[in-house]
Structure 1
Amino acid sequence: MSAPDTIEADAVPRIARGHRMQFEPAQDCHVLLYPEGMITLNPSAAEILQRCDGEKPVQAICDELSAAFEGAEVTSDVHEFLRLAASQGWVQFS
């Protein structure tokens, strides 16, 4: 699967079918589960994926994260992560 060259601000990401995110107490972190395995998520990835609900566009996700982290500039990091997540099949866009 190839990553999109750009992520449009109005694209709406959701966690891909067959994948599920949950908090794993034994590892004290969020993980992304899928039939072939599990991905351990760092806190930033978990914050982004929690907002990929199939309803919010990328720009709204960036705005929420910026507000949650005292106005931090997060847009490029969110776009970079979503490109990676799409290339790995973790998220899909509508």
Structure 2
Amino acid sequence: MTGAQEVNSAWRPALSRSVILRHDRVRDTDLLVLPERVVVLRGSAGSVLRLCDGANDVGAIVATLAAQHPGAPVADEVPVFLGRLRAEGWLT
């Protein structure tokens, strides 16, 4: 995992205090609004981050997404994605 931290399935990710998840109606896409920066999210990234509320652990997030997207490789991809965002400091 280049640039990502190891992710424990019991970790309960939440957006960092300085990060806001917003939906841009004009672009019809989700955004992460950071101090002095905006990150445009692609694909299902917004759906994943909406589950990062500090109450759901990584295992529950993966299970929810697997039920919503049968056959998708969420068990492999979601922990890596969350680890990358944690390494950026966007998730606690």
What TM-score, normalized to structure 1?
0.88
Amino acid in structure 2 at the alignment position of 1:56: N
Distance in 2 between residues matched to 1:71 and 1:52, nearest whole Å = 22
- Structure 2's unaligned 5+ residue stretches are none
Superposed displacement of residue 72, structure 1: 2.9
Distance in 1 between residues matched to 2:17 and 2:61, nearest whole Å = 20
Q: Does 1:41 align with 2:41?
A: yes
Distance in 1 between residues matched to 2:71 and 2:48, nearest whole Å = 16
Aligned to 1:73: 73
Superposed displacement of residue 44, structure 1: 2.0
Superposed displacement of residue 71, structure 1: 4.5
The structure that is strand-richer by fraction is: 1
Amino acid in structure 2 at the alignment position of 1:77: E
What is the percentage of aligned positions where both structures have the same residue? 30
Aligned to 1:38, what secondary structure does the other structure show? Answer: strand
Q: Does 1:30 align with 2:39?
A: no
Amino acid in structure 1 at the alignment position of 2:51: R
Superposed displacement of residue 67, structure 1: 0.1
Amino acid in structure 2 at the alignment position of 1:79: P
Amino acid in structure 2 at the alignment position of 1:18: S
Deviations 1:59-89 (A, max 9, x none): 0000000000125331110011011101111
Distance in 2 between residues matched to 1:56 and 1:75, nearest whole Å = 15
Aligned to 2:12: 12
Aligned to 1:83, what secondary structure does the other structure show? Answer: helix
Distance in 2 between residues matched to 1:17 and 1:3, nearest whole Å = 20
CA root-mean-square deviation:
1.3
Distance in 2 between residues matched to 1:22 and 1:41, nearest whole Å = 10
What count of residue pairs does the alignment treat as equivalent? 90
Moved over 6 A (4+): none
